[in-house]
Amino acid sequence: MKALEAKVVVLGTQGVGKTSIVVRYVGKIFSKKVSPTIGSSFFTFKMTVDNYRVKLQLWDTAGQERFRSMAPMYYRKANAAFIVYDITSYESFDSVKSWVEELKKNVDAPLVICVLGNKCDLAEQRQVPLDEGVQFAASIGALFFETSALKNEGIEEAFLRLSLALISLSQSAPNCGLLVKDYDSSRRKSADIVTVPPSLKVLQDKIAEEDEEEFEEREPAKNGGCC
Amino acid sequence: MATSLHSNQISAGQEHAPGGSQNPVLVTKDSYEELEEDLSLDVDQSRPRHASGVIAEIVESRQHSEVDSNQNNAAVDYPATDQQVKGITADTNHLSLGDGQLTDESEVFVEEEEQRLRSGSVLQTVEKTKPAVVEEDIHSAAWKKHKKHIFILSEAGKPIYSRYGNEDKLVTLMGVIQALMSFVQDDKDSLRSVVAGGHLIVFLLRQPLMLVAASSTGESQQQLFLQLRYMYNQILSVLTHTQLNRIFEQRRNYDLRRLLSGTERFLNSLADLMDSDPCFLLTAVRGLPLDNTVRDVIGQSMQSAKVKDLVFAILIADGQLVTLVHMKKYILHPADLHLVINLLKASTSFETSDSWVPLCLPNFDSSGYLYSHISYLDDSPACLLLMTVDQMAFKEMENCKQKILEKLKKHNCLAAIKDSVKRGSYTCQEVGISELRHFLYKNKSTAQFTAPSWGAPYSDPAEQERLFSLYRFVHQKVHNPARPLKILFYVGSHESALGWITSGFELYAVFSPLTTKQVAILAVNKILKWIKKEEERLFILNPPEY
């Protein structure tokens, strides 16, 4: 068993649901009252995939234009990037293209890119056709998923595929900057259980109180899932 | 009825003001003096208005840390004040003239305002206003009823912010403001205020922005100026002065809302806080009541986890300061800390994760950002901010936070903070003075204040608002720039109030309306004794340094 540590940056224009996706994945919840991220938020997530212990350091960035100048700091030494757009806003899809260009220009090391079309539950307001997203992602060699943080669709899969892509990247290009170590599985068994950060637990409790129906969706945290 | 007393009638020892300290944790400069200096600069634009270069200095000293430390010392000093003081007197004379002329015109202004708006003649702006139900505009009764409006626009007259209503629908009003201000500015003069019926309209020009407050709350011109300055500083804290200037140098008619998107909530929250929290009125910070041994342990834990380039480490719980560790040479300004407190109040996004946020503290250095690691410690109400000059230092700060967290947990400090927040401030009864209803006490040498919780008869928000406006009234009377008072005893229909200013403290106390002057004076002396007894719990007296 090996351990792999990767820095993952989440990019995209404001209001597309970057924080909602991350909070849905890391905390298994959806909050209606997510306030705009300021600067960036930092999460870590651990899981076991394909005989690898994968530790993701997630940088959830603010989408507002004024934080654009901070972006180089986020994608510096990043191993993977989620670029998120909102399927109900063509403008947000356009900004995906500019993010890709910026990454291509500034990041030398190979990078796993995953394009996410979020808010796919709002199909009736769709402005970006599914085909267009798929074709664009294929043209830049990126992964592509349509997701819904609200309905919890596509997010687990996106993170899983991203992790697998990171693993294969570390195998095919050993010098890509990914940190791979041998994992001593006898040490710290308890760490195999997915841990939810304490701050997110508080949010979980709040939401559980507010909304009983949401409760059934909040399955006990699984062991990362694998294939 | 207002009476001023002679100060000998009060016998408390003024040299040992309760809660005083030799090592102030915050900058203690008087905010009114600062404001006067600041306003005097309107006439002479050549002098620097902003603190700048401190961050560059820290970065530089990091690069060659051994080399010349003398140079650094010199650069931190405040700009010389002597000349500015002279400037003020000249300026005020000049102004009172201007005010008089404008007051004559003011009624015309208000009456004609609507006509102008309807015809849309001002600056040929086309009125897009449609009768909207949800969003208030200038014609809606609800919009007119608000007690205090705040508008921010660019020098070109582009709307940036309005406290109420959609600023897009107020373009014509913004045009009027721009026309008025630039008309006076053309004569190398500046428009300060207009009195219109029960409204006081105050204008502040901070190139490239114009800020206006229109208030019917009875606040003084100075008080409104201070609030506008806070609004301006809030914008700087997001953009920095350097960036703001650069944008408007490149494009005079830039729509700043693009860059500020998401900042409205902070401006709104700040405007609301200023109407309810006395810390802005007093330019002071409230310390969280805490046993001084616990506070010392917290301070030492934060101090011992020091990492390179950490400028400030601040621990805040429920809008109150727990403690603050600072680099030896650099002291935080209370107004900057207020912006930080507002930031935490207005956003919930910090509660869910550790954040890395660029923040400009305008009184510290308006030209650049301090990068701040913000985290709530272990789902407690305590929020730790670690501010550094190094944009890339997230990892170091993260480690530093972990160290601090471990130490605080080991000594059970988080539980103590939790308890204190849960318990809230002390009640007025605890002070043990029967006539006393409420008070505010600010120690000038530490820029900290203390006040009991809002007990009966002020449990109702409407009553709190009324009490707060009484405090504002007494505050503005004693701070009247033309006739500053040391002591004021005021008898109103609901309560009587005593305001007392010395070189060491400011005290405002509220009693039942039938309380006599003598009883009130005896009572304030008792308050001072009580605060002296409790000072170690209520104030941060020995802040650690890096």
Give the tens place of pLDDT for each residue, B193-203.
999 988 999 99
Q: Average pLDDT of chain A? A: 83
Q: Is residue A224 part of a domain?
A: no
Q: Is residue A223 part of a domain?
A: no
Q: Is residue A227 part of a domain?
A: no
Q: Which helix (H) or strand (E) holds A102?
A: helix A90-106
Closest CA to B529 of B67, B89, B120, B16: B16
pLDDT confidence band for A157 (50 / 70 / 90): very high
What is the nearest CA distance from B438 to chain A, expressed in angstroms?
Answer: 35
Q: To the nearest 10°, the Cα dihedral for B235, B239, B241, B246? A: -130
Model pLDDT, residue B535: 92
Closest Cβ–Cβ partner in B258, B351, B354 for A42: B354
Model pLDDT, residue A180: 78
Return all residues near B57 (Cβ < 8 A) that are at least 6 apart.
Answer: B72, B75, B76
**B12-26, B52-66, B85-99: segment of lowest average pLDDT:** B85-99
Q: Stretch B13-42: mean pLDDT, rounded?
A: 74
Residue B238, chain A, CB below 8 Å: the answer is: yes
Residues of A in contact with B264 (CB under 8 A): none
Hey, are the CB atoms on A202 and B356 less than 8 Å from each other?
no
Model pLDDT, residue A49: 86
Instruction: Indicate the length of chain A as a whole number.
Output: 227
Q: Is the Cβ–Cβ distance between B273 and B302 less than 8 Å?
A: no
**A38-42, A203-207, B275-279, B398-402: segment of lowest average pLDDT:** A203-207
Q: Stretch B436-450: mean pLDDT, rounded?
A: 94
Question: Between chain A and chain B, how many beta carbons pairs sit less than 8 Å apart?
Answer: 81
Closest Cβ–Cβ partner in A14, A65, A199 for B353: A199
Q: Which helix (H) or strand (E) holds B439?
A: strand B436-443
Instruction: State how many domains chain A has.
Output: 1
- Look up residue B262 and give its two tokens: 């998401």
- Look up residue B301 and give its two tokens: 């834990």
Residue B13 pLDDT > 90, yes or no?
A: no
Q: Is residue A204 part of a domain?
A: yes
Distance CA B351, CA B379 (A): 8
User: Is B33 or A126 the better-scoring residue by pLDDT?
Assistant: A126
Distance CA B413, CA B430 (A): 25
- How large is the C-alpha radius of gyration of chain A? 17
Q: Which helix (H) or strand (E) holds B142?
A: helix B141-145
Q: Stretch A53-81: mean pLDDT, rounded?
A: 89
Burial of B147 (0-12, 13-18, 19+ CB in 10 A): middle
Closest Cβ–Cβ partner in B347, B358, B391 for A35: B347
- Look up residue B41 and give its two tokens: 């600069």
pLDDT confidence band for A31 (50 / 70 / 90): confident
Q: Is residue A225 part of a domain?
A: no
Closest Cβ–Cβ partner in B262, B354, B358 for A70: B358
For residue B239, the chain A residue with the least C-alpha distance is A66
Q: Is the Cβ–Cβ distance between B472 and B222 less than 8 Å?
A: no
Model pLDDT, residue A225: 36
User: Is B387 or B119 the better-scoring residue by pLDDT?
Assistant: B387
Residue B394, chain A, CB below 8 Å: the answer is: yes
Q: What SS3 class is residue B269?
A: helix
Question: Can you give the residue range of the structural domain that contains A197?
Answer: 2-218
* CA B197, chain centre distance (Å): 28
What is the nearest CA distance from A37 to chain B, expressed in angstroms?
Answer: 6
What is the nearest CA distance from A64 to chain B, expressed in angstroms?
Answer: 7
Instruction: Give the domain CATH number at A201.
Output: 3.40.50.300
HSE of B363, CA atoms in CB hemisphere, 13 A: 23
Residue B378, chain A, CB below 8 Å: the answer is: yes
According to DSSP, residue A153 is labeled B
Closest Cβ–Cβ partner in B343, B349, B379 for A37: B349
Model pLDDT, residue A186: 57
Residues of A in contact with B378 (CB under 8 A): 198
Residues of B in contact with A33 (CB under 8 A): 348
Q: Where are the extended beta strands (E) located within B262-404?
A: 285-286, 310-317, 320-326, 354-359, 370-376, 382-388
Residue B228 pLDDT > 50, yes or no?
A: yes
Return all residues near B70 (Cβ < 8 A) that are at least 6 apart.
Answer: none
Q: Which of residues 181-220 of A touch B (CB under 8 A)?
A: 197-203
Distance CA A179, CA A166 (A): 11
Hey, are the CB atoms on A66 and B378 less than 8 Å from each other?
no
Model pLDDT, residue B42: 63
Model pLDDT, residue A74: 86
Residue A179 pLDDT > 50, yes or no?
A: yes
- Look up residue B55 and give its two tokens: 């961050």
Distance CA B204, CA B210 (A): 6
Identity of residue B197: G
Q: To the nearest 10°, the Cα dihedral for B501, B503, B505, B506? A: 20
Phi and psi angles of residue A77, each rounded to the nearest 5 degrees, phi first: 60, 20
Q: What SS3 class is residue B276?
A: coil
Hey, of B353, B389, B392, B400, which one would you mutate to test binding to chain A, going by the most A CBs within 10 A of its CB? B353
Q: Is residue A226 part of a domain?
A: no
Identity of residue A187: R
Hey, are the CB atoms on B351 and A65 less than 8 Å from each other?
no
Closest CA to B382 of B410, B409, B346: B409
Distance CA B363, CA B312 (A): 14
Model pLDDT, residue B320: 95
Residue A189 pLDDT > 60, yes or no?
A: no
Distance CA B437, CA B455 (A): 8
Residue B379, chain A, CB below 8 Å: the answer is: yes
For residue A203, the chain B residue with the least C-alpha distance is B352
